[in-house]
Amino acid sequence: VGAPAAAAVDAYVEQTVACPGPEFAEVQRRAEEGGLPAIEVSAAQGKHLELMVRISGARHVLEVGTLAGFSTLWMARALPAEGRLVTCEVEPHHADVARANLDGAGVGETVDIRVGPAEDTLLSLVDEVASGARPPFDLVFLDADKAGNPRYLELVMEMVRTGSVIIGDNVVRGGAVLDAESEDPDVQGIRRFLTLQGQHPRLEATAVQTVGAKSWDGFSLAVVTDG
């Protein structure tokens, strides 16, 4: 399938089933106005994340990599009234745009944006979960620097429970994930991330290739088990 056809099918999926409301166009308008890169998930993928939150019955969601809050909004609106989402972002300007977007979309109260390097934020969250100050996370979406994914996974495993779901984005990278000799730290990060999931005694995982408006890539999906 050529890229134009894949993008056209994504547009068709968006119109027929994903059906983003006007609040998502507003998120993208603010992102563009703020000069943020257009590297958010597609609407089809955002709806997929929303459905994963619904299907898993998640109440506490953790996201690593906020950007303008596009994927954040898809997941936040799937949460029950008492649900909460924590999202980690290193760029203060991205966090500011996301805050305006999430407040504007009416989920501001649901979302806690933590600004700083994800590793530092995750270390704080590990302490909060260990002390009982917050419950473990039911669903985690990793979508920041992919070189950091192995470390993020290690920390995430300290704050999930049996049955929690872990999703990773950009795990195919146009096929570059196959290159064991790659000098791209993100490719090596993803390779290690997938290997860790395949070998982890408490994870059952897979990865699904995708093709669409965001080119040839894929999501990883894992569930936490008793081991």
**Using CB under 6 A as the criterion, which residues of the chain lie in contact with ligand SAM when the complex forms?**
39-41, 65-67, 70-71, 88-91, 94, 117-118, 143-145, 148
**Sign of the dihedral through C-alpha 150, 184, 46, 223:** negative
CB 90 within 8 A of CB 144: yes
Q: Considering only CA atoms, which of 159, 81, 92, 166 is closest in space to residue 126?
A: 159
* Least Å from the CB of residue 158 to ligand SAM: 18
Those residues with Cβ within 8 angstroms of residue 201's Cβ, 6 or more apart along the chain or in another chain: 227
* Least Å from the CB of residue 130 to ligand SAM: 21
Nearest CB to ligand SAM, comparing residues 7 and 163: 7
* Least Å from the CB of residue 219 to ligand SAM: 11
* Least Å from the CB of residue 144 to ligand SAM: 4
Nearest CB to ligand SAM, comparing residues 63 and 204: 63
Nearest CB to ligand SAM, comparing residues 18 and 144: 144
* Least Å from the CB of residue 116 to ligand SAM: 7
CB 78 within 8 A of CB 165: no
Q: What is the DSSP letter of 148?
A: G
Nearest CB to ligand SAM, comparing residues 41 and 171: 41
Those residues with Cβ within 8 angstroms of residue 194's Cβ, 6 or more apart along the chain or in another chain: 171, 177, 205, 207, 220
CB 27 within 8 A of CB 69: yes
Nearest CB to ligand SAM, comparing residues 71 and 220: 71
CB 97 within 8 A of CB 103: no
